[in-house]
Each structure stands twice: as C-alpha cells, then as structure tokens.
Structure 1
C-alpha cells in the first residue's frame, strides 16, 4: 500500500486537523465535522488515525553506531525547576563542535524530534532536544495525551526552561561556544522567541512558527532562516508584519515559502509530509547552520 499524502484528503479535512492539532478544535468536534467528508467506508475516526503520526521508520536509527545519545537533566531555577532532554552527538572525537537546540512541536519530545536531533548529530553538531512536558511527567507516548498535557503548561516557565537549556548546551565542554536553534510549529515560535532573548544565539531556523511581537524584533541579533508552507494561511498571515519589523531593525533573514506544502510539511511521520519541500528545507537548514556556526 502506498503512503498517504496530503493530496489524499479533502482540503477541509486538513484544515480541521490543523485546528485539532493546535487546540482550536476538540477531538469530538473534529470527528463530528470530519464525518461530512468521509468516503469509501472510512469513518471520521479513521481519518484521524490516518492523519496521526506513525513513528515506525526514523531516518536516523536510535542505535546508530556513528552517534552517542543519552538523556540529560539539569536545573532550571527560573522555570519549572529541572529540564530533561535528549542529547545526540557524533561518536568520533573531532574537537569541539557547534551546538543546536531542537524545539519540538506541541506534543513534547516524541520519537520524531529525537530522530531530528540524531540527524543533526550526523551532520556534525552537538544537538539537544528538551522535553517541555517533563514537569508534567514527560512525553506520554500518546499524541492525544501529549496535546492535552501541553495545554496545562505555564508557558512563562516553559520559555525559561528553553532558555536554560540553550545556556546549558552552549556551555558543554564538547561544544565550541557557537549556538543555533531550530524548531517546528510550536518550536518554530520558540526559535523566534529565543532569538529575541539570547543575544549570543548564532543562527535560528523556525519552521512554520508563530512570529514574535514586532516590539521584540529589534532585540534579535541572530541571522534567521525561515521556512513556511504555501498552504499555511494561519502562519503566513503574520508574515508581512514580521518582515516589516525585520527590515526596520536590519535583521539578516532568508524566508522561503514552499508552494503547495501544508503546515507540518517537514514531519515525515504524517501525511502532511512533503518530501520535496522537506528535503530542500533540510538541506538549506544544514548549510545555513554550517555557514553561520562554523
């Protein structure tokens, strides 16, 4: 059976799913509204199952001998008290390396984000992905439960935890002091936020993330590589104001919009994945980090 893609779903179902994923629509409401678009004996619950992630085939295997991976914990005095996350780095010693903070979507540190972290380590970086849900017990292994837990976080404390994670990562003995951040969806918004509060940040790559308030943009010192999806009306609606603020503050940035791609196009565990867009965005991301962080 061939892999499902976004084109296999009615566009209205994709909009409903985006609302469900981002908490604007309950599961019950999704099922009720999606039932109008069921065909071929597939139920609304079946549509939701088809659209939900499958973590069966990571691109960088957890046991890859080229990597060292482990979970780390450390204090976060201004946040929830302690941060826990997944650290990946090349196994072969070759001097100090640039460090990349990886920020997940609004479900916590799931297997897909751990895979992203390993992919960056295979490119030669020290990569670390914190789990925002750690104070609430950590990623629960179920995407629906994770989404529900995420809504219970105190975002002020969560932001402080990510700042603490960035500073911890930057100070690792195997890191060379050059720091980047990449994030997806919620994490894209966090990457934008971190750029406004970390003057030492050397590069930031938000994938389809919410833009920061225009008043905060003058604080950005890091060059930005911004990836957006052509069909992502919600995120693209904020782009003109963000672009104007970036230009006014002379912040170096590149902005790429991937025509025909859906929000979440980089996530290869769901049908919204767009292989061509994801491959191009990933190549651009790795090249950007290597050029800006050395």
Structure 2
C-alpha cells in the first residue's frame, strides 16, 4: 500500500479531518471509488483478528469491573493468572483513541499471561463508555477534559496500588493516545514504578524533571507526526538524568503493534517491542 495512503489514514484518525474529506482524498490516491472502497477494510481495524490470547483461556481469570475514578465510576477489563501464588505486580494498559476495544482487551490478557494483574481502563467511562463506532469513539476522546482524564488515570494507579491481589508495584503501558497518557502519568505521578509508551505524544518539556519512573519508549520509523517530538524529549530526559530507553523500529508505521490493522501492523516489530516491554517490566516491577 502506498505510504501516502497510510499517512492520510493517520491524519484522518488523529485530526479533525471529516470522513467525507478523507474518503475524497483516498479516492484520488487510490485511483477511483472502487479501489478506495476496497482499501478501507485494510486501513480500518478488524477486531475479528484480535485474539492472540482467547478470552476464555483457562489459565486466566478475566472480567469487566468497575472501580472509583476521580470523576465517578470507571469501567475496566481486569485479567490475572488463574492460579497465582501470592500477590503480583500490576500493569495498566491504556487504549488508543478508539477506546477499550477487543485489541486492547487482548493486550490486557497478554500482560496477565505474563504474570501480572492487568487492567485496561475505559477512559470514555465518564461519557457512557466506548461505543462500537470508531469514529464516534475518536470524537468522544477528543472531547474529553484532559485534567479529568489524567485524574481518572491517577485514580486507576491508586486502585491497583491498593488492590488486594497486587504487590503495590504498578507499571503502565499505552498505545497511541494511551502512549501520550502514559507520558502524562509519568510526569505527574512520582510513585509509578515503570512506564512504556508506544508511539505516544511527548509531555510538556518543563514537566520532564518530575519523572521518577524508568521509561521505555517505542517509536515507528515512518511515524513523522509523533517522531517530531523525540529530539526535544530525549534532550530533556538526558538533561534531567532520567532512566530511559528509546527504541526506534525502522520502516514501520504508527500503530505497528496493533495486529487488527492489516495496513500498519508489523509482526516482527510488534513481537520485538512486546518482548522488550515484558523484559522491562520484569526488571522494574519484580525486584
């Protein structure tokens, strides 16, 4: 697929570009309406493919729960090993700008299978929860109050720190919008134990000295929009003496970890990034 088409879809999913304008430009790039229509299923997520770990895997206990947020009740997907011996460290899994969908639920199960209490919060809980329509979900996320959302994330951290099944050590991993929220949590919560951001927007540079958690930052080589912030972020992290690792995956696109998106998913990069993520959490959450 032409890189221009993938870049256009990225613009559509991360800006206010209307769907009609997106499709008109897609027709021009694809060479006709029929070709553009055929490309759409490749560009959009197919959640029928969102099962690396089956939702009924007997090794896991998984359920939808509610817990107190800063602005009211939060909904979330919680998974943990079925036969855990003692308390376990915890991982927050923060969704993309499409909400708590089957792909993120599967990532929660993957983290649980690695030996963690894993929680995928639905940050659209204050406005009724994640809808089935992805365009609607993006619009709802764009309309969220940023401070209220961060407050709810901090409440999520506190919930897991005090959870009877956890050791009190909590890490956070986020994807796309969730990667940006992971960076926000790192600069605002000194008791976060580890943070992993997949192609996430960088935080305000003046807040970088507040970071206490070690960082693992995954970026896609073709992701020009997000990558513009890397040099300034790395300079600030280095100047503040922070513990961080940046991993750049060449020739892959934004959202390369999302296996439900045929156009952007890269199996090799996704596998390596997830292996690095689990090794990172193992180092900092199991000490």
**Fold match by TM threshold 0.5:** yes
The correspondence for 1:19, drawn from 11, 16, 27, is: 11
Q: Is the 8 A contact 2:27 2:33 kept in 1?
A: no
1:154 deviation in Å? 1.4
In structure 1, what is the Cα distance between the partners aligned to 2:178 and 2:219?
13
Q: Does 1:275 align with 2:258?
A: no
The correspondence for 1:63, drawn from 56, 60, 81, is: 56
TM-score when normalising by structure 2: 0.96
Report the secondary structure of 1:94's partner residue.
Answer: coil
- Of stretches 144-153 and 114-123 in structure 1, the one that deviates more from structure 2 is 144-153
Q: Does 1:150 align with 2:133?
A: no
1:12 deviation in Å? 1.0
Report the secondary structure of 2:34's partner residue.
Answer: coil
Unmatched runs of 5 consecutive residues or more in structure 1: 1-8
Aligned length, in residue pairs: 284
1:94 deviation in Å? 1.0
What per-residue deviation string (whole Å, max 9, x for no partner) do you get for residues 253-276 of structure 1? Answer: 110100001000000000200001
Give 1:3's aligned residue.
Answer: none
| Change beyond 3 A, Cα 1:41–1:25 | closer
Root-mean-square deviation (Å)? 1.3
Q: Is the 8 A contact 1:87 1:129 kept in 2?
A: yes
1:39 deviation in Å? 4.7
1:82 deviation in Å? 1.8
Give 1:76's aligned residue.
Answer: 69
Where in structure 2 are the equivalents of 1:84-233 lying within 5 Å? 84-233=75-224
1:93 deviation in Å? 2.6
Give 1:47's aligned residue.
Answer: 39
In structure 1, what is the Cα distance between the partners aligned to 2:4 and 2:16?
15
Unmatched runs of 5 consecutive residues or more in structure 2: none
Q: Does 1:10 align with 2:36?
A: no
